[in-house]
Amino acid sequence: MAITVRIPTPLQRLSGGMPQVQCSAANVAELIEELERKHPGIKEHLTEGGRVRRFINVYVNGEDIRTLNAEATALKDGDVVTILAAIAGGRPG
């Protein structure tokens, strides 16, 4: 089963500079474990206490996993998982 995972620029140093990688997993939690096996150190940037960090957004085929089944969101061959770091801040006008 091939799932395309889009890696955010700040984490591409852990993926060997690759903007996307291929993995296989039954759900998002397994996907994160697979990413950690292939790219050690990435899991600590994505999760805390076994859950995706609140400032990390994970999308499966464009849908936020928080509106699906969170880390238990099922994956299938051909899915595209996009990982994005939430950005906040700025200066009041």
The string of pLDDT tens digits covering residues 23-56 is: 999 999 999 999 999 999 999 999 999 899 999 9
What's this model's pTM, rounded to 2 decimal places?
A: 0.90
Q: Which domains does the chain have, with CATH numbers?
A: 3-85 (3.10.20.30)
Helices and strands, number each (H, E), in the chain: 2, 7
Q: Residue 82: exposed, middle, or buried by beta-carbon count in 10 A (0-12, 13-18, 19+)?
A: middle
63, pLDDT greater than 70: yes
- Among candidates 21, 18, 11, which has minimal Cα distance to 85? 11
Coil, strand or helix: which one is 29?
A: helix
Share of the chain above pLDDT 90, in %: 88
Residue 3 near residue 31, CB atoms below 8 Å? yes
Phi then psi for residue 52, to 5 deg, are: -60, 130
